[in-house]
Amino acid sequence: MIGRFREAVKLIWPEFYPKISGRLNPYFTIADYRKIWGIGITLLTATALVPLAVATITYYQMVQRLVDSELVLRTERVASNARRAVTFFFEERLDALKFTVNEIGFDQLTDADHLLAVLRNLRLGFGGLADLSVIADTGVQIAYAGPFKFEEKNYGNQVWFEECKQHNYYVSETFNGYRNVPHMIIAVKGLRPDGSFFILRATLETERLFQTLSSYEPGAHADIFLTNRSFMLQTPSKYYGDIFEKMSLPPLNYSRKTQTVMSIDNKLRSIITGYAFITTKQTGTPFVLMVVKQKAGMIGALLAVRSNFNWVVGLGTLIIVVVVTVLCTIMVNLLFRADRSKAETMVLMEQSNRLASIGQLAAGVAHEINNPLALINQAAGYIKDLFIIEKRYQNDEVIMESIDCILDAGDKCAVITKQLLGFARNVDTKIQKVNLREVISDVLIFHEKEAVYRNISIAVSMPKENLEIETDPGKLEQILLNLVTNAFHAMEDGRSLKIQASASNEEAVVISVSDNGCGIPKENRQKIFEPFFSTKPKDRGTGLGLAITYGLVKKLHGSISVESRENEGTTFTITLPICIREEEGKNEDTPGG
Amino acid sequence: MIRFDLLIIDDEHRFAELLVRRLNLRGVTCCVRHEGQSGLDILSHKKFTLILLDLQLPDIYGTEVLARIKKVCSATPVVILTGHGSEKDRQECMALGAHAFMHKPLDIDALMSILTQIGGAAS
């Protein structure tokens, strides 16, 4: 379970994120993986999200248009119905007064008792009638029925009187009457038999009008009210001011028909206003009917759906972004790993090429030196022969010592050239029988001088009988040389190196290289076989030695392990098969470096 | 003392000359040729106890010379003496019937012991 989790984390962990640096850098094909990652995520996310965003916005706009047109239609219907009702309210009352004037006539109406009877009858018919009065063409009130005493009051210079005289009918705005209750007056002109006119005037309580209006109120977030033509409220409004106050909505243009406009109110609510200028068939009125609906209230359910839809879109967007990011990370990671392993291979190849050319150089040098060396050896040998066989200088110790000195030096040189030639040649040798003792002593030759002047003792312990294995001597030499070189680097002067070889069973031998040097810290032990891991100063270590060694041991079908204690020493142990099958050996195409 | 007749085929004039002198001092008579062909020519009319053959010859490569020698006089032992013979060369020469494979610089005592052995066997 934990392992799987780790694998998953490894898959999506952005290994490419830290800046590439160091020795691998020049071998990477792509320099900036972060940029590729960023571009990938941006492009893929955009490709996925742009159509989603466009579809969502288009959908919202379409729904909004549909809802708006539906709302407008509904508001217009309410306004239109209310307008008809209000118009009828006034027409009915004006007609009743007109009927009274024509039917009863001036003479009877001016009789106080008769007028009172008419008032009572009209109240029965319509209700809400406060008083009735008859005004002569001079403007003087000549009869009154009602709760107050207004007899002989002169209205001759009042606007309404003039209006009624001219247009035969009159409807007033609402106003606060004597009892501080909103009232309005309507008046009708009648003709007397002598041709002069009189006016029948009625005061209406507005309660009935309010009731008529509020019966059309279309819901909680809606308002219905009347204003005059300068938009002073004539009936109370729920949201836009009290009666007789200025309406807190922008003014509207005159229109003969019912109109609907969309706007924003003083509290920044989106509203739909249906309005109509009330005109009766007899005369115009000062009233404007207003029906105001708040969109938010009416489309609450729709907004809830929209909010759900927004959640779905948001969640979808989140999923897209996460999936795109994870996918991009995995892809770029894979790309990065492939590139890195290519770069590592390139570095290893460069290293092995370098080692191969060092081998070739060594072989070349040894080759060229060998012939003159053979000559020196022969010449010195001849001189010695002359001395010994001819017995001329047989007793001259100084000359004999000199000759021996030349011969010794020649022999040593011969060993080294043989060594170099053998070492270089082994780069392409095949599997063959190898004597471990010889290989170990060949390897130690390279460190003999250093061991002497650093006072490092070297102990080799092996079983007495010859330990022979079938393997690739070149690779084995390289392995041991790397291990011994590392041990020398780890030790201070005066320490000791121990090499042990033994047959562990019939199929394998074990070779261990131990030093009592500085040891490997625990935290580094896991990493020492990784390429480019090095704790040595830059000019001394490439970080490849143990990685190559590890690879070579694997090529020889062996295994390598390390035991170390800090400040006490390190032991590398390699186990190699005594016999490698020929086919396996043939498959090795490249030398181990 | 047994008389040894040695044929040296080696293109290194001075090396061959010094070797001849050293062998003369040890009572061995030598004949020197510096090319493979001239070495083969002399074999057609003269017999030797042993042939000392270098591999890097100017005209014919040593292994080829060895093969031809073995055709002409298969009984004469041939010792290969080379400056830079590879393991491959060694195996090839031994397969062609070389008596021994020696590296330069030459250990004259080793050569003498081979001669003594051959002489002992011949007598």
Distance from B81 to chain A by nearest Cα, in Å?
A: 11
Label the pairing between strands A259-264 and A270-279.
antiparallel
Query: Percentages helix, strand, coil for chain B, rounded to the nearest 5?
Result: 45, 20, 35
What pLDDT was estimated at residue A473?
Answer: 83
Distance from B71 to chain A by nearest Cα, in Å?
A: 30
Domains and CATH numbers, chain B: 4-61+74-87+101-122 (3.40.50.2300)
Q: Which of A386, A410, A432 sits opposite B105 (nearest CB)?
A: A410
Distance from B78 to chain A by nearest Cα, in Å?
A: 20
What pLDDT was estimated at residue A345?
Answer: 84
Write out the residues of chain B at the interface with chain A, using a CB-CB cutoff of 8 A.
Answer: 12, 14-15, 18-19, 21-22, 25-26, 83-84, 86-87, 103-106, 108
What pLDDT was estimated at residue A53?
Answer: 92
Host H or E run for residue B62 = helix B62-72
Percent of chain A's residues with pLDDT above 70: 90
The answer on pLDDT for A157 being more than 80 is yes
Angle of the B87-96 helix axis to the B62-72 helix axis, nearest 10 = 10
Region A213-228: what's the mean pLDDT? 86
What pLDDT was estimated at residue A422?
Answer: 56
CB under 8 Å, gap of 24 or more: what pairs does A187-192 form?
A: A187/A97, A187/A160, A187/A161, A188/A94, A188/A97, A188/A98, A188/A100, A188/A101, A188/A164, A189/A101, A189/A164, A189/A165, A190/A98, A190/A101, A190/A102, A190/A105, A190/A106, A192/A105, A192/A106
Instruction: Tally Cβ neighbours within 10 Å of residue A125.
Output: 11
Kindly report, residue by residue over A340-367, the tens digit of the pLDDT.
888 888 877 776 676 666 666 777 777 7
Query: Is the CB of B18 less than 8 angstroms away from the CB of A385?
Result: no
Query: Is the CB of A374 less than 8 angstroms away from the CB of B25?
Result: no
Kindly report, residue by residue over A560-583, the tens digit of the pLDDT.
888 998 888 999 999 999 887 644
What pLDDT was estimated at residue A426?
Answer: 45
Question: Per-domain residue ranges for chain A?
Answer: 17-64+301-349, 65-298, 429-593
More confident residue, A299 or A82: A82
What pLDDT was estimated at residue A99?
Answer: 93
Does domain A65-298 sit in CATH 3.40.50.300?
no
Query: Is the CB of A389 less than 8 angstroms away from the CB of B25?
Result: yes
Q: Looking at chain B, which residue has its C-alpha nearest residue A417?
A: B84
Q: Looking at chain B, which residue has its C-alpha nearest residue A390?
A: B25
What pLDDT was estimated at residue A412?
Answer: 75
- The pLDDT mean for chain A works out to 84
The answer on pLDDT for B66 being more than 90 is yes
What pLDDT was estimated at residue A590?
Answer: 37
Q: Which of A374, A390, A425 sits opposite B104 (nearest CB)?
A: A374
User: Of chain A residues 353-372, which have a CB less than 8 A from chain B?
Assistant: 366-367, 370-371
Give the domain A429-593 fold: Heat Shock Protein 90 (3.30.565)
Preferred mutation among B11, B56, B84 to probe A, highest tally of A CBs within 10 A:
B84
What pLDDT was estimated at residue A10?
Answer: 82
Kindly report, residue by residue over A306-342, the tens digit of the pLDDT.
888 889 999 999 999 999 999 999 999 999 999 988 8
Place of tokens 């466009």: A54
Is A9 within 8 Å of A15 (Cβ atoms)?
no
Percent of chain B's residues with pLDDT above 70: 97
CA distance A432 to A362: 22
Chain B positions in Cβ-Cβ contact with residue A359 (cut-off 8 Å): none
Q: Which of B15, B26, B86 sits opposite A375 (nearest CB)?
A: B15
Kindly report, residue by residue over A164-187, the tens digit of the pLDDT.
999 999 999 998 876 788 889 999
Structure tokens of B86?
């590879």
The answer on pLDDT for A586 being more than 50 is no
Q: Looking at chain A, which residue has its C-alpha nearest residue B21?
A: A382
Percent of chain A's residues with pLDDT above 90: 31
Residue A233 φ then ψ, to 5°: -65, 135
Greatest mean pLDDT range, A564-568, B35-39, B86-90: B35-39
Q: Is A444 helix (H, G, I), strand (E, B) or coil?
A: helix
Query: Is the CB of A425 less than 8 angstroms away from the CB of B106?
Result: no
Is A338 within 8 Å of A36 (Cβ atoms)?
no
Q: Which of B18, B84, B86 sits opposite A378 (nearest CB)?
A: B18
Label the pairing between strands A284-294 and A222-227.
antiparallel
Taking the CA atoms of B103, B107, B112 and B114 in sequence, report the sign of the dihedral they define.
negative
Kindly report, residue by residue over A387-431, the tens digit of the pLDDT.
887 777 767 778 888 888 888 888 778 777 766 665 554 445 468
Q: Which residues contact A531 (CB under 8 A, 6 or more apart)?
A: A344, A347, A348, A543, A544, A547
Structure tokens of A48?
């996925």
Distance from A443 to chain B by nearest Cα, in Å?
A: 19
Query: Is the CB of A377 less than 8 angstroms away from the CB of B105?
Result: yes
Q: Looking at chain A, which residue has its C-alpha nearest residue B105?
A: A374
Instruction: Tally Cβ neighbours within 10 Å of residue A20.
Output: 18
Interface membership of A377 toward B (CB under 8 Å): yes
Distance from B67 to chain A by nearest Cα, in Å?
A: 25
What pLDDT was estimated at residue B52?
Answer: 94
Kindly report, residue by residue over A103-125, the tens digit of the pLDDT.
988 989 988 899 999 999 999 98
Q: Is A593 helix (H, G, I), strand (E, B) or coil?
A: coil
Label the pairing between strands A508-515 and A129-136.
unpaired
What pLDDT was estimated at residue A357?
Answer: 67
Strand partners of residue A224: A291
What pLDDT was estimated at residue A358?
Answer: 67
Interface membership of A315 toward B (CB under 8 Å): no
- ipTM, interface predicted TM-score of the complex: 0.86
Is A135 within 8 Å of A155 (Cβ atoms)?
yes
